A and B are shown apart, each in its own frame.
Chain A
């Protein structure tokens, strides 16, 4: 069950980070510097990508809630 929970939580983190990343990239494209002056977008890519991969890995094993 812990793996299932972790997998779901990582999947949520992946979705939120990806949506945030897309939004921030659009804002940055509209006005260069508005985001990159304060944040490193590579960090979002790393967090989102890492969460997505880990979520997939955990979901391979959890099966159903026992």
Chain B
């Protein structure tokens, strides 16, 4: 109570305790987390760089080889096909995800259908599922003999016989993208719907008075006004496609005939696949390469879209 008598001279946002208790608290509060972060977060990143200059199977002593691994990356045909697959995914997944989620979010926000509230919850749902559940579900859907996809297609008159969607060299890369889109779209529906809700309704009413269609309203009002959010979503989904290899690992493990291999998966298998001799040094160099690719993509997308934004 007596504290109320004191008047604060300037607004403070932090308190300075000056005693033994404070340092004990700090020690417990910061020490373990910082130690864990350094040991499991920072240190491994530095070690990757170190490993990348060695030849090492993980068991026998490391041999320092200088830039050999990096030179091998340039010559490694698997590396370039994997990078090519990464690029295909990088283009398709963000574009499709964002277009779908923009339309769905627009319908949820601007159309007063009574089922909309339920849809929002349902669309988001796949995001909370473990990757293994999603991929096993989809490998059942894609199955040739008893799969849901062939059954649905047959229902609408397209007979695929017993076509295995994940076993076809040309189709598999597209088949592995569908679950990614299936999951992520619901996430961006929520993000975009939240952003769209802050757009004043009067803007749409005005456009409607002038006879603008929903399409026109969406492209001339909604999208420009939430462009900042869309841009972040593009970066997020793009970077996500490079980072994530779990779906592909579980669905096809890069096959058939490496037609779905991506860099992350290539690195992962080199280091962790069972029953092969591991190449930690080379895998680390690939990891560093991946890091550079990620930074590059971030930079390019940022550059590409920051100019366009100034138009609005």
Q: Do A and B bind each other?
A: no
Name A residues whose Cβ lies closer than 8 Å to a Cβ of B. Answer: none
Name B residues whose Cβ lies closer than 8 Å to a Cβ of A. Answer: none
